[in-house]
Structure 1
């Protein structure tokens, strides 16, 4: 996929219409390549944003009792948000706030190179996470531009990653809403330093590499085997495109899902959720490094969304790549053309609030971990031990026996039938958080 130029959205030209917004000026090949691959960072935030709220809730809940003061303020008892949630996470390629010399030269644009939609079902039993390729060609709606003025929609098309440059985070939301048919009331954006800080706060993420990863553009060099990535190294891993799969952005998405599924498993494990220091550090890093929509800029809201996510089983957290193929002609040659039929199947299921099932592969940037079965068994054993330890530490109140016998005397309520799983076409790639996968590395000789 060519990355020589980074066009902004264009209007489909007619004899009487001129393109209102020009292309972003071309940069050198190295500068351009490094710039566009840099946005693959908000992928971390899928898990982190939800845990950030849990952090303060869990710390407050588990803290030792203190000395009551006359003007003590009671911590609110916040429950899970009611109904379903649609949440957009955006990763920007902006170098704002970064130290000179750490990253490549600023490309001079502000593009949304990562766009991830999180849907939590209304009954809070499953979550679907869709990564939208940055080069996906989409139709632009009418958006306010960065100066607050609107520009015409209904004929503009271009790679989705130009929408941030056109009208900021609100324009990205409107563009994704038009693409997916979903109403998205919550949005957040992150840049380079934010992901570095959050990777450090979680204590690193363990990833499996099946074949060596070699990428001179992001300086990512990893041998085959297991690696615990934090800080800049985690950032480089998420940015790499040339070093995995077929070198395309589609391959990069599946490689990112190797990292993300491992991150979710770690965040939901006892070693993180029962560690107030780790939770506080993670929450602080997340909140300090995100730009939030007004709807999300409230601790109560973050906690309530986190509460809806925290008990969803790993196998019910499904990561999906928005379906498409690299192709196109003219200015959009090498861009991702949507597979509309497969995409319609995804969003029909989400609009119907159905859990989704995968029938395709993980994508060309990842492969199944050959030790997946053993790792899953070890994780299950560790979880069982933690559950037993927690049960032992929380003795049952004496009133529970009478309450349970009273409950037993009552007629049993009919169990709510499980919702039907919508099995997606085999052209849709992805994995669950319970799937152990490895990066499909790509060496310099293969590039």
Structure 2
């Protein structure tokens, strides 16, 4: 195997002029309006007719000449159901500055690394979901990847996973994670800085708890201990900060990101968001306008069907996981046995029960809402007639509780209220 980033081709290829200088296809207003209607129906699922009207008017107003929209006719709107079966969707966060705000530096100041690589898995019965983070500095084998310019890139024995986006684009990152986990991943999305900023703003900001002061000169993140509602650039830099949390490593950055993501899920699922048409539509636009999507995901109805599958999953059944790793020179590698157990559970659609802690960048929120304690008598009427009765362990065991993972597998659920563990400049 070769570790050189070069395309392989069995024969020289004649490059057609049309491929580089072809005419742009003329926009078809009817196709555009069809997509608008699909978007309107998607938001209609969670927020009511008013959002569909806003979506239709907003985008259709920019189409010339105007046409009569299907939503203007009488009759009920078509229904989009939850996607059938399970879902594996890879979400990649790129650090590329191309097309981004100038405050992040010149467009050519960085490469195109996938500094964030997360796998969303939804079980086939839509009863549970997991979001699994792969550390950017994890050494993995990279398979042969198609070169977007033609030919094929050679496989490599051991490279950091965050080089795959540079090496062969989003398709290469997907192939790498498929080989690593044994899972089939039919959907993928690449998100840049602007996407994170737009999504956090669309929901009106994301509340995060900071346990100790966060100070990071690299991202300009300075947050005092306490609660903060973050959106736009502030939210993005909070997710990017590494020096300002935990021990300054990428591993503690992941657990800090999970603090934000769990709060984002709670915010999106809250009544104040789902009942606000403008917030729901803004969130839908933030997703579609700021992501590069795989072909079979680049369809509003598919996005909507995945969202519907997630909509009713209990917060405690949405688990954020950091894959188990061990330290090596210059990075980390998978702890193979624990790593395999994790993805065997995912492949089997078992609900995940974390064996480890929240990770070094997060800690439990001491001011978290306290759940009501169940009444034992209500669960077991016999307890009221025989107070001395000893519960039968076999009767209380729930076989659907899922796979309990090793303590090397850290994370939290969306129902867990956590705080970021800050790090000041004195400790850096």
- Compute the TM-score of the two structures, normalised by the length of structure 1: 0.75
Cα distance 1:419–1:225, how it changes in 2: closer, same or farther (>3 A)?
same
Q: Aligned pair 1:368/2:364, yes or no?
A: yes
* 2:78 corresponding residue in structure 1: 76
Q: Post-superposition shift, 1:70? A: 8.3
Question: How far, CA to CA, are the matches of 2:41 and 2:307 in structure 1?
Answer: 6
Question: How far, CA to CA, are the matches of 2:41 and 2:119 in structure 1?
Answer: 18
* 1:89 corresponding residue in structure 2: 91
Match of 2:117 among 97, 103, 115: 115
Kept after mapping to 1: 8 A contact 2:47/2:274? no
Number of residue pairs matched by the alignment: 357
Q: Post-superposition shift, 1:234? A: 0.6
Kept after mapping to 2: 8 A contact 1:52/1:302? no
Cα distance 1:307–1:61, how it changes in 2: closer, same or farther (>3 A)?
farther
Cα distance 1:53–1:257, how it changes in 2: closer, same or farther (>3 A)?
farther
Question: How far, CA to CA, are the matches of 1:253 and 1:313 in structure 2?
Answer: 23
* 1:440 corresponding residue in structure 2: 421
Q: Aligned pair 1:11/2:33, yes or no?
A: no
Question: How far, CA to CA, are the matches of 1:76 and 1:68 in structure 2?
Answer: 11
Kept after mapping to 2: 8 A contact 1:54/1:307? no
For the residue of structure 2 that corresponds to 1:342, the secondary structure is helix
* 2:296 corresponding residue in structure 1: 295
Kept after mapping to 2: 8 A contact 1:368/1:437? yes
Q: Aligned pair 1:55/2:57, yes or no?
A: no
**Unpaired segments ≥5 residues, structure 1:** 1-9, 13-18, 23-50, 329-333, 378-416
Q: Post-superposition shift, 1:148? A: 2.6
Q: Aligned pair 1:348/2:344, yes or no?
A: yes
- Compute the TM-score of the two structures, normalised by the length of structure 2: 0.78
**1:374-429 CA distance string (max 9 Å, x none):** 4x67xxxxxxxxxxxxxxxxxxxxxxxxxxxxxxxxxxxxxxx8634100001100
For the residue of structure 2 that corresponds to 1:295, the secondary structure is helix
**1:238-263 CA distance string (max 9 Å, x none):** 00000000100000000000001111
Q: Post-superposition shift, 1:59? A: 4.0
* 1:176 corresponding residue in structure 2: 177
Cα distance 1:68–1:300, how it changes in 2: closer, same or farther (>3 A)?
closer
Question: How far, CA to CA, are the matches of 2:267 and 2:70 in structure 1?
Answer: 36
Kept after mapping to 2: 8 A contact 1:52/1:287? no
Query: What is the correspondence of 1:139-158 to structure 2 with a 5 Å cutoff?
Result: 139-153=141-155, 155-158=156-159
Kept after mapping to 2: 8 A contact 1:53/1:306? no
Of stretches 107-116 and 203-212 in structure 1, the one that deviates more from structure 2 is 107-116
**Unpaired segments ≥5 residues, structure 2:** 8-38, 55-68, 373-397
For the residue of structure 2 that corresponds to 1:371, the secondary structure is coil
Q: Post-superposition shift, 1:197? A: 1.3
Q: Post-superposition shift, 1:63? A: 6.3
Question: How far, CA to CA, are the matches of 2:40 and 2:52 in structure 1?
Answer: 21
Question: How far, CA to CA, are the matches of 2:125 and 2:141 in structure 1?
Answer: 32
Question: How far, CA to CA, are the matches of 2:239 and 2:355 in structure 1?
Answer: 25
Question: How far, CA to CA, are the matches of 1:304 and 1:425 in structure 2?
Answer: 33
